[in-house]
Structure 1
Amino acid sequence: MQTTSHSLPILESYPPCFRPNTQQSLQNVYNDDHTKNKIENEQDQLPVIDLEQINYDKLEEACKEWGIFRLVNHGIPLTLLTRLHEHIVRMFGLGFESKKDLFGSIPTSIMSYFYGTPALTPSGDALYKKDQGTLIYNWVEGLNVPLSMDQPSHVDFHEQPLLIHDMRLLIEEYGVHQARIAKSIFSAMSQNLNLCDEHKGYMSPSTGQLRVYRYPRCLIDNPTKVWGMEVHTDSSVVTILNQYEVEGLQILSKDNAWIDAKPIPNTLIVHLGDMMQAISDDRYKSVKHRVKVNSENERISMGYFVFPDHNCVIGSSVYKPFTYSDFRAQVQQDIKTLGFKVGLSRFKVHTDS
């Protein structure tokens, strides 16, 4: 059986809901939905943007047609990415009870732990739900790390356990690079959209959050529509994703087909989120995406999410004026009452024809 670097049986590091019971086989049988409508093409189809020399026409096309692109020459040192990955593997490799104790002892403003659900909802609440009589799982555990520069003065991650302290230092360094990249991308998009300086609050690095995802091996027998992360759009302005080796991310292409966004060394994936679609008056696309489960390999990824200033009102000809706080509150209410995110359509301006 696969073990962690501490020789702990890997299943002991999984939340109990992700462990097979004695009646279940250790062989995963994928639901047909995991391959349905997928384009079988080994050639990478995503548009590519070079951060060192941004081609504004190519960026415009990627934002309008895809809502996602691959980023090269991003300038993040490989040594930082390697060290951060090693710490992530070590952190997730702790026994489940040890992780609960560790993260239960630190402020959520430093780092918080969740599983079975997106970070927006309390851990465990959305582990599974009914969708037309079918169970849907989010087969994921993760860490949420706020990167705000205005943390309360009484919060000091230097006083936290060594493992948290070291990882937080690496994440802070990584976050500086992510903010730099996000600023460059948003500046280029703003030029294409002719946004003026008064809209600079539309993307604020002080809202940045890093979410580290571990998708455990899916070892249950013949799961019914099990996904690492079900179909969704991000609520962010942009999301910058770093994938490590194991594939799983799928995006809905401009041709309305699911395609793999495979890990390619030293590249990042940039998603446009709901806020960017609203800012652009629907000129740009918030991309739908999902994550497949895997029976043989765990998948690790890191997503940097950045939002508008909390009090910044997004003005649009397509949507009613709203702040990100308004949007987030509506999303949480819909998840609580309906079981899913409705998103931007809640804020659409409805005109009589």
Structure 2
Amino acid sequence: MYKMNYESYPPPFRQENNHIQNIDTDETTNQVLDLDPIPLIDLQCLDLDQLGEACRDWGIFRLVNHGIPDTLLSQLQDQAKKLFYLSFESKQALFTGPVSYFWGTPALSPSGSALLPLSSAPQNINWVEGFNVRLGQLSPFQAEEPMLDSFRLLMEEYGMHLSITVSTIFKATAKNLNLDPQKSVSILSKSSGFIRAYRYPFCSKDNDTWGLNVHTDSSLFSVLYQDHIGGLEVFKDGKWLDVNPIPNSLIVNIGDMMQAISDDEYISVRHRVKVKKQERFSICYFVFPDEDCVIQSSKYKPFTYGDFRAQVQHDIKSLGLKVGLERFKVDH
């Protein structure tokens, strides 16, 4: 149990009220087990039809029997919390290189620095802070701070597990979509994978503040491990649904690159994060095509992921929002 330290928050997030309500984790879990609407996919008994249906109709599914040790997940979350509870100034100074620190926005430049939109006043920023970990650059990196080096080692191990998990899912989706096996191998780039650890600070104004605004991910797949607090919502059939926190499961969602590759058969799901009157922690793994991998689709002009990322960054800086795949539609 960690004592709340509001000096660890970025200045706009600091509150005078230091009281945080406690939630009974078991009670919360028992209430949602029978109410969870998200499709369930068992990685050990992977059913291609069920997977295809989840990707087409939902763009998101809950993954069980994924083989990632519970001890690794708990250690990773525990270490992330220790780092988040450092002072704001320490985090700004400590995190450089392949492990960077950001707050107030989920969009990052290639260097890992945050991209602030035009409208970046405190009332408009996302109520979130995080660590961005570029997995492909971790191996030669050694931090002088022991706590950060322990975090690096855990992230490396977690990244290796997730790389295998996502490869299995991608091969299954490629088979469902009848993708050319030789071409599909170059689409999924393990070296492009990165992890973000998020903290959504306590906020007393949870009715009009968002941890992350409505968006889609630019990835092929995103794999989320969330704590018991909840707050993630997905848009389905004209309404927002809670993605309940259920132990020993991961949340996988389809990103923009997978939607383009599938000719819009699979959905890049719209989602958002609502802040709570409790802190929420989550860890998300993202995987992309290689920068120069050309995405071929009947719905979109040929483009590379590098083209897409550059356009997203331009739109965020100039418009304050991500336009995404609409920029590449064949009728534009």
* Alpha-carbon distance in structure 2 between the residues aligned to 1:127 and 1:73: 43
Alignment partner of 2:272 out of 278, 286, 290 = 290
Q: 1:211 to 1:71 in 2, by over 3 A?
A: same
Matching residue of 2:226: 243
Matching residue of 1:178: 162
Alignment partner of 1:262 out of 244, 248, 258 = 244
- Where structure 1 has 5 or more consecutive residues not aligned to the other structure, the ranges are 29-39
Q: 1:305 to 1:288 in 2, by over 3 A?
A: same
- Structure (1 or 2) with the larger CA radius of gyration: 1
Matching residue of 1:125: 116
Matching residue of 2:101: 113
* 1:270-310 deviation per Cα after TM superposition (whole angstroms, max 9, x unaligned): 01000000000001000000000112x11000110000011
C-alpha deviation, 1:129, in angstroms: 4.4
* Alpha-carbon distance in structure 2 between the residues aligned to 1:207 and 1:213: 19
* Alpha-carbon distance in structure 2 between the residues aligned to 1:190 and 1:288: 22
Alignment RMSD (CA, Å)? 2.4
1:24-63 maps to which residues of 2 (within 5 A)? 43-63=35-55
C-alpha deviation, 1:199, in angstroms: 2.3
Secondary structure of 1:240's partner? strand
Residue pair 2:8, 2:88 contacting (<8 A) in 1 also:
yes
Q: Does 1:225 pair with 2:208?
A: yes
Q: 1:44 to 1:116 in 2, by over 3 A?
A: same
* Alpha-carbon distance in structure 2 between the residues aligned to 1:17 and 1:128: 15
* 1:135-186 deviation per Cα after TM superposition (whole angstroms, max 9, x unaligned): 53300000000111xx39xx73335311111110011000001000100000
Counterpart AA for 2:13 = F
Alignment partner of 1:280 out of 248, 253, 262 = 262
Matching residue of 1:207: 192
Residue pair 2:206, 2:275 contacting (<8 A) in 1 also:
no
Counterpart AA for 2:276 = N
1:120-159 maps to which residues of 2 (within 5 A)? 120=108, 122-123=113-114, 125-126=116-117, 129=120, 135-148=123-136, 151=137, 156-159=140-143
Q: TM-score, normalised by structure 2?
A: 0.89
C-alpha deviation, 1:20, in angstroms: 2.9
Identity across matched positions, percent = 52
Q: Does 1:342 pair with 2:323?
A: yes
Matching residue of 1:32: none
1:53-132 maps to which residues of 2 (within 5 A)? 53-103=45-95, 106-107=96-97, 109=98, 111-120=99-108, 122-123=113-114, 125-126=116-117, 129=120
Matching residue of 1:161: 145
User: Matched residue pairs, number?
Assistant: 317
Secondary structure of 1:136's partner? coil
